Structure 1
């Protein structure tokens, strides 16, 4: 299998959380980002963090911080594109970028493997995304690096501002994931109330790790 570059998307504006860098909020005694890195890093061949602004604030990790290549915060697909461009330069053998949200501390430990399996035998431009009881999760996905130029054109023209609409322009595999212990594996902490719930879940079940 070709190399897969993982991209943690942390470039959102976090309006519902009151602004700031949501992945750096404390969860279980360490940054929420630490939980994401711990679960996602073993699944990919290289891992980067997509975020804008001063990269030093993510010094708690050893990850390369890759900013959007387009101005104006055009949304999650800009982070996907940034990961694709990084892969083209630093991992030219990579066929896909796998994405994960920086506020999903319980993401599946096999999400990349399952998405890759769903693309076997499909066209080169096919995309795989996960789903769960709460719906599809297009911020997570396995995206061919070969779509970088098309994606950039779509973002510049405005045609790729709606994530699912752009994804569905390509052959798409939707891979279902079951809840684990009653918890949606793609649970994300969007609000202070969500963070409180995640804190309770993390203190009872999440293993410790360093990043």
Structure 2
């Protein structure tokens, strides 16, 4: 466990291809997607929070902090990054970084945080995950100290693209992750067919 790193589960998407609602509350066999992702991340970080907008009561029974974007209008995942940095700075002032993951990606690597942090050292710049030739910018390590810079960037109408902000504005880097038995561990669930595929893979992993 990396005690100086907070884990932020990003759940701000509209889930249109799944018919709306919260993807994190969909069932993945015996667990919700949120339970699965939280369990996978909690062993890698010191603290955990869920970034979700709207009424937090829909997550009643979820035993982690619920944090909303601190902005008047949605700006995509960077709003969750800012929310996570501000939450970490306020709640765990000795923490140095946060790691962001997506709530609809239940198979991300069990060594995600270690690999991202290793790629960052000794730099204090963002590190984004990459598998094969595909960048997965939502899976990233962020120094908490970027909070003020990111807040100004968003307030001034800067790019909302995570990769452009991290790599172009902050001179970030990438960490390479291998495929796992020909499968991209950052596979995310966008459609009912994707959910069926994830259920089948989970059953295969448990066999």
* TM norm structure 2: 0.94
1:177 and 2:177 correspond:
yes
Superposed CA deviations along residues 56-75 of structure 1, whole A, max 9, x for unmatched, are 22224201100110122110
CA displacement, residues 18-77 of structure 1 (integer Å, 9 cap, x when unaligned):
211011111112211111111110100100000011212222420110011012211000
Say what the alpha-carbon RMSD is for the aligned residues: 1.6
Instruction: Report deviation, 1:2.
Output: 7.0
Aligned residue number for residue 49 of structure 2? 48
Runs of 4+ in 1 over 4 A off after TM superposition: none
Distance 1:151 1:179, change over 3 A: same
Maintained 8 Å contact 1:2/1:95: no
Which residue number in structure 1 is paired with residue 149 of structure 2? 150
- 1:195 corresponds in structure 2 to 195
Could you tell me which residue of structure 1 aligns to residue 5 of structure 2? 4
Name 1:22's counterpart in structure 2.
23
Aligned equivalent of 1:86 = 87
Structure 1 CA distance for aligned equivalents of residues 117 and 206 of structure 2: 26
Q: Where do 5+ consecutive residues of structure 1 fail to align?
A: none
Alignment gaps of 5+ in structure 2: none
Deviations 1:67-122 (A, max 9, x none): 11012211000001001110111000111111100000001001001100111122
Deviation at 1:196, TM superposition (A): 1.1
The alignment covers a number of residue pairs equal to 205
